[in-house]
Amino acid sequence: MRIIDNPKREDWKTILKRPTKTVDDIEATVIQVFNDVKEEGDTSIKRYTSEFDKVNLKNLIVSQEEIKEAAILVAKPLKEAIQLAKSNIEKFHRAQKTNRISITTMEGVDCWQEKRPIQKVGLYIPGGTAPLFSTVLMLAVPATIAGCKEIVLCSPPNKEGKIANEILYAAQLCGVTKIIKVGGIQAIAGLAFGTESIPQVYKIFGPGNQYVTVAKQIATKYGVAIDMPAGPSELLVMADESANAAYVASDLLSQAEHGSDSQVILVSTSKQFAEQVTTEVNKQLDDLPRKDMAANAINNSKTIIVNDFETALALIDEYGPEHFIVATNNDDYFVDNIGNAGSVFIGNYTPESAGDYASGTNHTLPTNGFSKAYSGVNLDSFQKSMTFQKISKNGIKNIGPAIELVAEAEGLQAHKNAVTLRLKDLE
């Protein structure tokens, strides 16, 4: 990893640039696929699946027989691990439930807010180089807790036209109502428009490559909501000489192996420690099955040396990491003051992998600096807040004159009349 020693603040933006393509680079391709799927439905979906995934499918929907067969083929120890992770994710997300909020704003005027589930949601589960069945848990569990009626899962098929057994097992375990063998841009388009096989949904969730990320953003132009712009994975570690260099290196590599377009950054107040981490990265890299992919990501990554924690915090907030690990002699300083991060991992014994799989927090998080404005997926992501109000006769007498004055001042006579008619009837 390239070491950058005490960069000037005006250079931070350039140094922290992500290794991703801009929307302009791939938007034309996405729009073409969207237009074709809108016009041709399943026919277009199958054609693009053949082109992009190199497999010809007769049926896009996963059958019950395929789901049952997959469940049999998943090893018992892995099933137990999946069930443990599901249990912790359920505990954390059930705890996010809120009760009805009710208040009388003035005599006779009652207002309240309730949560209602989004009825139809689409879950995108990446396949590609690593079928992320853990993402099924992260999305389907809160969707089920929220009470979503339709939970449609899309995931790209392999060369045999199948979805990974672990994805199918996790999907049926967590209450997914329909599973579709479709990935990439065409999956997002299918969820946005609906086809003969793919139900149209109201909101699309899930991470993906840069094409999927742009496709989700394009989907919003057609009235479909998305969880967030979640693209290639990223991690920033803040560590000083009190941290364990081997642990830090393993965390950096755990994100680097996601893909060649992933990025990891180490920020440290100790150049000597940073050099130790670099040595450990090179040592551990040799033993990884996905060595080449991780190595490419490491080439996109860097180590930044700063003089003090205050400078480090300002730099980290400027970057807005998806995952943020802090392992220093004063973790509380960063925990108490960090403003922009998707999820925070504290101390030497809290690897980012824990949040990816089994601690209970959600791993679907904002990337590419979007943690400055977006939250990671949570129970509220699958719900809407609806407000209600009920006004009694005394209530409209109390609040009515103010409404009349405001409506008249805005030049909206019909608004005023809606109150005036009622007040006259009550005279």
* 269 HSE (CA, 13 A, CB side): 16
Q: DSSP label at 100?
A: P
DSSP string computed for 335-384: HHH--S-SEEEESTT--HHHHHHTSSS------TTGGGT-PPP-GGGGEE
Q: Is 323 among the annotated ligand-binding positions?
A: yes
The residues, ordered by sequence, that sit 6+ positions from 103 with a Cβ below 8 Å of its Cβ are 110, 111, 112
* Known catalytic residue at 363: no
> Strand 263-268 and strand 302-305: pairing?
parallel
Burial bucket for residue 403 (CB in 10 Å: 0-12, 13-18, 19+): middle
Q: Is 209 among the annotated ligand-binding positions?
A: yes
Q: Is 242 among the annotated ligand-binding positions?
A: no
Q: Kindly give the interhelix angle for 76-94 and 165-174, rounded to the nearest 10 degrees.
A: 40
Q: Is 413 among the annotated ligand-binding positions?
A: no
Catalytic residue (choose from 323, 363, 404, 408): 323
Place of tokens 């996601």: 258
Q: Is 363 among the annotated ligand-binding positions?
A: no
Query: Is 198 in contact with 155 (CB distance < 8 Å)?
Result: no
Q: Is 102 helix (H, G, I), strand (E, B) or coil?
A: strand
User: Strands of 120-124's sheet, edge to edge?
Assistant: 178-180, 150-154, 120-124, 203-205, 225-226
Q: Is 255 among the annotated ligand-binding positions?
A: yes
Q: Is 357 among the annotated ligand-binding positions?
A: no
Cα torsion 146, 151, 155, 161 to 10°: value is 150
Instruction: Tell me the residue type at 386.
Output: M
Both tokens assigned to 11: 């250079």
Q: What is the CA radius of gyration of the chain?
A: 25
* Known catalytic residue at 322: yes
Q: Is 93 among the annotated ligand-binding positions?
A: no
Place of tokens 């791939």: 26
> Strand 383-391 and strand 109-117: pairing?
antiparallel
CA distances from 128 to 124, 155, 214, 280 (A): 12, 9, 17, 28
Catalytic residue (choose from 166, 257, 280, 322): 322
What span, in angstroms and rounded, lies between the C-alpha atoms of 137 and 165?
A: 14
Q: Is 356 among the annotated ligand-binding positions?
A: yes
Catalytic residues: 322-323
Binding residues for Zn(2+): 255, 258, 356, 415
Binding residues: 124, 186, 209, 233, 255, 258, 323, 356, 410, 415
Binding residues for substrate: 233, 255, 258, 323, 356, 410, 415
